[in-house]
Amino acid sequence: MTAYVIQRILLAVPVVLLVVTLVFLATHTPRFADFAVNRICKGDPVQCEQVRHELGLDKPLPEQYVRYVGGLLRGDLGDSILTGRPVLLELKDRLAPSIELALLQLVVALTLAMPIGIISAIRQDTGLDYVLRLFAILWLAIPVFYLAVIILIIVFKGLGWSPPLTTTAWRDFFEDPVENLKMLAIPAVAGGLGLGAGMMRLLRSQMLEVLRQDFVRTAWAKGLREQTVILRHVLKNAMIPVFTFAALMVGTVFSGEVILESMFSIPGIGLFSVMAVKNNDFPVAQGIVLVIAVALVFTNLVVDVAYGWLDPRIRYR
């Protein structure tokens, strides 16, 4: 097991290095660099030259790359052009709201997908199954931003309330959990519905496949209760691809948060990335892409290790 984890970590290193290289090349092409510098210095030649020197863009590309990688190894992602603060500190301040929103979306998705997927599978081709599948397809078809608007209108019409749509109204969970959840409730539900619909359909199809396996027929023949067969034998085996799907959705969740955080003024990485793009703050854009890439690599590592618990037949070599 330990050797397998070490092997997976070693395999993740070149993936991260490739991402670092691609991000560097994408943001250090001459055309992109000149465009970003001109936006900062407003076309003033003297100031533009000073900005290029401060950003290290006057050095040869290989030297820029070595300095960039060296900074990453020291935990230095550069300084934000917009705020002048280190990018790492900027991301640290905005990471908590994004992680909280992502976790809430995942909770909503699992809360919906698990019972609906199980019921839809064990009641295959019944009226209830068709209704649940219809709702799942509907949630998948509606874009997350449009779904958020619909939920906001329903809540406003029904309760006469809408969340505060300003960043100044943000409250940390430990500071004021009630206000914090009020601000995150609608975007969490909107993002979780689409994610849960995909999980539900995948879980249903996997459970139907597992239900046809010989070991499940044996469990039925032994006279085990339906609850025991479904939860102990079927669900555990069907969860393996669902678990993988949830892990792969980490990138999708973060990309969706760009829209949701902008709509609901949540001061997270998504909203900050929009500000960075608008102001050509490419050190911040680089940092955000790298953070998401590392999160995806780490998540897939956790999934690979968790396979052994979900399926005892898997052996690590």
Structural domain boundaries in the chain: 2-73, 95-282
CB 150 within 8 A of CB 156: no
34-42 long-range contacts (CB < 8 A, ≥24 apart) are: 35/280, 36/280, 36/282, 39/279, 39/280, 40/81, 40/280
Which one-letter amino acid corresponds to residue 245?
F
- Report the distance separating Cα 36 and Cα 114, nearest Å: 47
CB 128 within 8 A of CB 211: no
Residue with the bigger pLDDT between 43 and 69: it is 69
Judged by DSSP in three states, 79 sits in strand
State phi, psi for 87 to the nearest 5 degrees: -60, -35
pLDDT tens string 156-194: 777 777 777 777 778 888 888 888 888 888 888 988 888
| Most confident residue range from 37-46, 72-81, 131-140, 281-290 | 131-140
| Most confident residue range from 25-29, 199-203, 236-240, 303-307 | 199-203
DSSP 169: G
Helix axes 235-264, 87-122, angle to 10 degrees: 130
Instruction: Share the mean pLDDT of the chain.
Output: 80
pLDDT tens string 184-204: 888 889 888 888 888 888 888
- Report the distance separating Cα 187 and Cα 51, nearest Å: 39
Q: Which residue, 194, 231, 204, 237, is CA-closest to 106?
A: 194
| Contacts for 148 with CB less than 8 Å, ≥ 6 apart | 186, 187, 190, 191, 260, 263, 264
3-state class percentages of the chain: helix first, strand second, coil last, to nearest 5: 80, 0, 20
- Per the listing, tokens 């959840």 go with 181
**Mean pLDDT within 305-311:** 66
Q: Residue 308: what pLDDT?
A: 62
Beta partners for residue 86, in sequence order: 79
- Report the distance separating Cα 239 and Cα 236, nearest Å: 5
CA end-to-end distance (rounded Å), the chain: 7
- Per the listing, tokens 């948060």 go with 257
The band of 90, judged by pLDDT with boundaries at 50, 70 and 90, is: confident
Helix axes 177-211, 87-122, angle to 10 degrees: 40
Global pTM exceeds 0.85:
no
Q: Which two tokens stand for residue 34?
A: 């000149």
Give the CATH class of 95-282.
Answer: mainly alpha
The Cβ of residue 192 has, within 10 Å, a number of other Cβ atoms equal to 26
